[in-house]
Amino acid sequence: MLRLLTAIDFAANKHRQQRRKDPEGTPYINHPIGVARILYEEGGVDDTAALMAAVLHDTVEDTDTTFDELTQAFGDEVSRIVAECTDDKTLPKADRKRLQIENAPHKSDKAKLVKLADKIYNLRDLQRTTPKGWTPERVAEYFVWAKRVTDGCRGVNARLESILDRIYAESIKA
């Protein structure tokens, strides 16, 4: 429990100035905490490393955090899971999105769990409200793209996959 709380504290400090793109400007830390909650409560995942990685999954991508820093603070396993969930921001956005689809089937089970919960959180947010600057077409494209990513993560948690199936059935127009 202390390790998880330490990861939450670390992520909260790293994301303290960030906001989500929703109209309310929700504090960004709500997202990684929410991803961990989805894993635990809805997915039945109680693996500490997976929960810690869920809380930390955006720290390298979106803050000044390094993988060495994560390894020192939280160990190799957590750092590796976060690395599997981290996009290379030096690449163009289209390449990052394509690589998420291509790489999803090859991730570890714990990284797939984090990806599934991350997409559930983001898709629910999009069902609730449209981010600033997003068109309805962009929202629809996100759902289609997210399904392609999560399809590559299947086989690790039937509960999370069932949630995604319901979200896609409600939101993706044939």
CB 45, CB 32: distance < 8 Å: no
Q: Which residue among the candidates 62, 87, 151, 161 is catalytic per the annotation?
A: 62
Under the phi-then-psi rule, with left for phi > 0, alpha for psi from -120 to 50, and beta for the rest, what region is 81? alpha
Q: For residue 27, what are the β-bridge partners?
A: 19
Is 170 designated active site?
Answer: no
- CA distance readout (Å), 37 to 4, 67, 68: 12, 23, 26
Is 62 designated active site?
Answer: yes
Q: Which residue among the candidates 22, 42, 47, 61 is catalytic per the annotation?
A: 61
How many whole angstroms separate alpha carbon 77 and alpha carbon 21? Answer: 30
CB 114, CB 43: distance < 8 Å: no
The DSSP letter of residue 22 is: S
52 CB-near residues (< 8 Å, 6+ apart): 3, 4, 7, 74, 78
**Torsion sign over Cα 10, 93, 157, 165:** positive
Which residues are known catalytic residues?
61-62
